[in-house]
Structure 1
Amino acid sequence: MTRPFCDLIWCASTHHRSPEAAVDLEFVGIDPETGQSGSPTVWVEPETRDIVMQSYTADEATREACVRNTAPGHARGIPDHETVVRIPARMVPTLRKACDAAERQL
């Protein structure tokens, strides 16, 4: 399935938490055009103020584009402890809510 170019791309890291650590998440929102399964979803972890996201796995073309456009000063490639996901552009309002919720935790 092809996603619109305007989708946001999120590079997520998992290196800051042990896999067995319990996580408490505050639900923020879900894709407004969701069906009954596989829905892009956003949460905030109150303790760390991290934004946690579930979304579409990026296709190989998107992953290659991320590698070609590596942040200045960083090694090329996607580290083993990171991944690339696509967030539908229609989720921008939900992401703003998540950012606001994270800031309220300060």
Structure 2
Amino acid sequence: MSLLFVGIDPNTGDKQSPTVWVDRKNKEIVFQGWKAGAELEAECAECEVLGHAKGIPEGEAVVRIPARMAHMVREACDAVERADVR
């Protein structure tokens, strides 16, 4: 299996489970989170950033994870950059 489990929201319940993984094969960080609501998605789609097209391209999504998971995101960043993650 190429997925390395990093962590799950410590406040998760039976029906919610924001999660962070590292895809070792593709050297990518993978998030499972809450779907962005229409308002947040529209705000992201309208955001103008130099070198970035407006809108959300087909095949991409806006997801949210709680800030209390920031340490897991840092851990995933470290893991994906290590040479031993294969």
Q: TM-score, normalised by structure 2?
A: 0.87
More helix by share: 2
Check the 8 A contact 1:43/1:51 in 2, yes or no. yes
Gaps of 5+ in 1: 1-22
Check the 8 A contact 1:57/1:86 in 2, yes or no. yes
More strand by share: 1
Aligned match of 2:47: 69
Alignment RMSD: 1.5
Q: Which deviations, in whole Å up to 9, do the C-alpha atoms of 1:54-96 show, x marking residues without a partner? A: 0000001101110121321222110111110011111101101
2:12 aligned partner, one-letter code: T
Instruction: Spell out structure 1 runs of 4+ moving beyond 4 A.
Output: none
Tell me whether 1:55 sits opposite 2:33 in the alignment. yes
Gaps of 5+ in 2: none
**Distance in 1 between the 2:49 and 2:65 partners?**
19
Paired-residue identity, %? 50
Aligned residues: 84
